[in-house]
Structure 1
Amino acid sequence: MKFNLLGQFEMVADDGRSLILSRSKVSQLLGLLLIQNGETVGVDSLIEELWGENVPRSALTTLQTYVYHGRKIFASVPGGRDILITRPAGYSIRVPADTIDVAVFERLVQQARRALEAGHVETAAEHLDEAFRLWRGPVLAGMMTGPVLDAHLTYINELRFAANELHIEASRRLGRHQEIIPWLRLLVAENPLNESLHAQLIKALHSCGRRAEALQAYRSLWRTLDVELGIEPAPELQILQHDLLTARTPVTAAR
């Protein structure tokens, strides 16, 4: 059985049958337990996730009802009957890590980082390509989430951002400047105040002989920082612009 959280929440049985889970609190409960696979999640944490500060008097009984329905959902898939376990202090889900796409993504990013540090750039790029193929949309797309899940989702999204940076670095080392320009434009659009991404885009454009576009990218960053924060780009970016204006190559600033 596979559990997919990088996008709409779904379970995929060994026979290939897919079960899309609803946006209910039962799914919210299961999503949290799967993200913390192998750990016991306390009753207090589950109640905080499901109701936040508006905890009903019947919270414990209702939580137990949600657990019951969660077990019924798992039982509808072959091999799922004993997945959700009751513990003295709460509940847990225990499944192999490689059956949860979030865990697989994290492992692949760690492997890519180690490969890059060891100088195995092609291997790092392969791991990252495999990792990004797991994403089908935002984590637990469309699902209501509470404070506990939100903290985990923030971590996963930060990990994805780190994976993007590793992908850019691996592609740069492999000389794939042209290939990463569309990726960088998207990342810059999503993170308009991230000067490091802007620098990477400017360098990639310049490496492809697109100096005018590189200068336009710098001016776009300057306007954004001026309007949003009232500041100028960091000194490293200003050196980068100066190198572009004087046509000095290669561009080495703001690595």
Structure 2
Amino acid sequence: MLFRILGDPDFLTSSQRVVAVKGKKMEFMGMLLLRSNETVSLDRIVEGVWGDRPPKSAVRNVRTYAWSLRNDLDREAHRLSCSPGGYRFSCDQSEFDLAIFQTLAADGLQAARAGNHEASLENLRRALLCWRGAPFGGVTLSQYLQAEVDWMTERRLSVFEALMDALLELGFHQEVVERAGREIVHSPLREGLHEKLVRSLVMSGRPSEALMAYRRAKGIFEAELGVEPGGSLRRSYEEIMSMTNGT
């Protein structure tokens, strides 16, 4: 089986049947998947699904979600067990898309540190393919689950930037130009993305376009954050200026 939350939540049965999970039952399943193979207390589940203002029927609702999810699981219903301490969902790391993403990402980053950029590229590409969309389908969630989603999104962006580095190391400059440019539309305040775009243009021998990209990034940071670019993006700008001044 394969349980997925990196996009619209669902799971694939052993017969490849897709079972969608929505609403509060989705949040219940998400809480348990994020703590796979651990007993999650009923109080923690209620807080994770409803925050600090649960309905009076919260406990009864949780039991209803558990009953419904077991029905969805059919022959795999044994995965969801109940004890006096709470609920437990049995799931191997290879059956959960977030865990698969994490494993592939870690392998890719380790390969990059070892200088094996081909292996890094392969693993990071596969890691990002685990993402089909916004976690939990992008719906409004409780504060607890939203914090988990924020962490996942940040992790995805870090892995994406590492993928861009691997592509640059292997000379795939144009792919970085295209992909970093598209990602900036969704995360315009992510300085690392702008740095990858500027650097890829510099390495492609396109300093005038790189300078334009830097100025666009500078305008965004000044307008939205009241600061100028720093760190590696600033160094990329200085590299552009040294190239143009030398011509």
1:188 aligns with 2:175: no
1:129 maps to which of 125, 130, 155: 125
What secondary structure is seen at the aligned counterpart in 1 of 2:188?
coil
> Which residue of structure 1 lines up, in the alignment, with residue 227 of structure 2?
231
Aligned-partner SS, 2:132 = coil
| Aligned equivalent of 2:57 | 58
The answer to whether 1:10 aligns with 2:10 is yes
Cα separation, partners in 2 of 1:9 and 1:236, compared to 1, 3 Å: closer
TM-score (norm 2): 0.91
| Identity among equivalent pairs (%) | 30
1:193-204 alignment runs, 5 A limit: 193-204=189-200
2:202 aligned residue: 206
Deviations 1:90-124 (CA, angstroms, capped at 9, x unpaired): 11101211011111001000111111111211111
SS class of match (2:81): strand
- Other structure's SS at 1:188 match: helix
Change (3 A) 1:56 1:232: closer
Q: Please tell me whether the aligned partners of residues 37 and 90 of structure 2 are also in contact (alpha carbons under 8 angstroms).
A: yes
**Segments of 4+ moved more than 6 angstroms:** none
Cα distance per residue 1:43-99 (max 9 Å; x no partner): 111111222232222322222222122211212xxx312010113321110121101
Show the counterpart of 1:146: 142
Larger displacement relative to structure 2 (55-64 or 211-220): 55-64
Deviation, 1:134, is 1.7
Unaligned runs of 5+ in 2: none
Q: Which amino acid is the alignment partner of residue 87 of structure 1? A: S
Alignment of 1:82 onto 2:81:
no
Distance in 1, Cα, partners of 2:114 & 2:83: 42
Alignment gaps of 5+ in structure 1? 250-255
Task: Select the structure that is richer in helix.
Answer: 2
Alpha-carbon contact 1:27-1:70 (below 8 Å) kept? no
Q: Note closer, same or farther for the CA distance 1:184–1:59 as it changes in structure 2 (3 Å cut).
A: same
* Distance change (3 Å), C-alpha of 1:47 and 1:158: same
Equivalent AA in structure 2 for residue 163 of structure 1:
V
Q: How many residues align?
A: 246
**Residue type of the partner of 1:33?**
L
Residue in 2 that maps onto 1:30: 29
Say if 1:190 and 1:41 are closer, same or farther in 2 by CA, change over 3 A.
Answer: same
Kindly indicate whether the alpha-carbon contact (under 8 Å) linking 1:28 and 1:144 is maintained by their aligned counterparts in 2: no
Structure 2: which amino acid aligns with 1:152? E
Give the residue type in structure 2 aligned to 1:141: G
Whether the 8 Å CA contact 2:51–2:144 is kept in 1: the answer is: no
Q: 2:172 — aligned with what?
A: 176
Q: Deviations over 1:13-65 (max 9, x none)?
A: 111111122x2211220122112211221111111122223222232222222
Partner secondary structure for residue 56 of structure 1: coil
Secondary structure of the residue that 1:247 maps to in structure 2? helix
- Alignment partners' CA distance in 2, 1:148 and 1:218: 37
Selected match of 2:100 from 104, 120, 144: 104
In the aligned structure 2, how far is the partner of 1:74 from the partner of 1:239?
53
CA-based RMSD:
2.1
C-alpha distance in 2 between matches for 1:237 and 1:138: 27
Give 2:68's aligned residue.
Answer: 69
With over 3 angstroms needed to count, the CA separation of the structure-2 counterparts of 1:18 and 1:194, relative to structure 1, is closer
CA contact 2:161–2:196 (8 Å) conserved in 1 = no
1:232-254 Cα distance to aligned partner (Å, 9 max, x none):
222654453343234269xxxxx
